[in-house]
Amino acid sequence: MSTENIKVIVRCRPLNKREISFNAQNIITINSNAGQVIVNSPDKTKTQNDTPEEHFQQIFTFDKVFGTQSMNIDLFNQSFKSVVQAVTQGYNACIFTYGQTGCGKTFTMTGEQSNVGYIVNSFDCIFDYISTLPNSVQIVLKASYIEIHNEKIKDLVTNLNDLSVNESKELGIYVGNLSEHLCYTKTDLQIVRQDGYKTEIQLQHA
């Protein structure tokens, strides 16, 4: 991976049941070693003008790419773990998961019991680090959970709406009146996440 401050990671999901039902084609090829996503032309022999269609490829290169068989732990270990470890060393960091509805963002973030996503893996990573510290070191871990929707900020734990973004010399940029919850164990972090998830806006998939 590159050493840039911003890295772009791409994950391609398999066809879902709906796509399989109407014989959708997978036109994506992954070259993991080169970090490339290759978009191929569909397998059509003729165009609307009844003439042979010319085959084409478009190649896009990223810091890292993962194919349809990738596991969540693979993404975490190869792409996200270093970000979480940087946070334990005092750096600010963000994992921004972007994509259209139904592309697999939630699965990558939360996963399932046998294939947990990067949120739970991050919790594990944080507490693994804390466990290596001597008893003389005191750690204060707080968690907040917000949602930004239609340019409005909501505290998902307290359900407080229309929070404001503020700036001060002491705190830098921060969200005013945002609740912070002390977390002594990984279970405490999970409770904050679960409480917030209950009030999160869920967009319906097509």
The strand pairing partners of 58, in sequence order, are: 39
Any binding-site annotation on 100?
Answer: yes
DSSP H helical segments within the chain, as ranges? Answer: 17-21, 72-75, 81-88, 105-110, 118-131, 186-197
- CA 146 – CA 159 distance, rounded (Å): 9
Any binding-site annotation on 101?
Answer: yes
Any binding-site annotation on 102?
Answer: yes
Any binding-site annotation on 12?
Answer: no
Question: Is the Cα torsion angle 82, 65, 123, 169 positive or negative in sign?
Answer: positive
The strand pairing partners of 172, in sequence order, are: 168
The residue type found at 21 is S
Point out the annotated binding site for ATP: 99-106
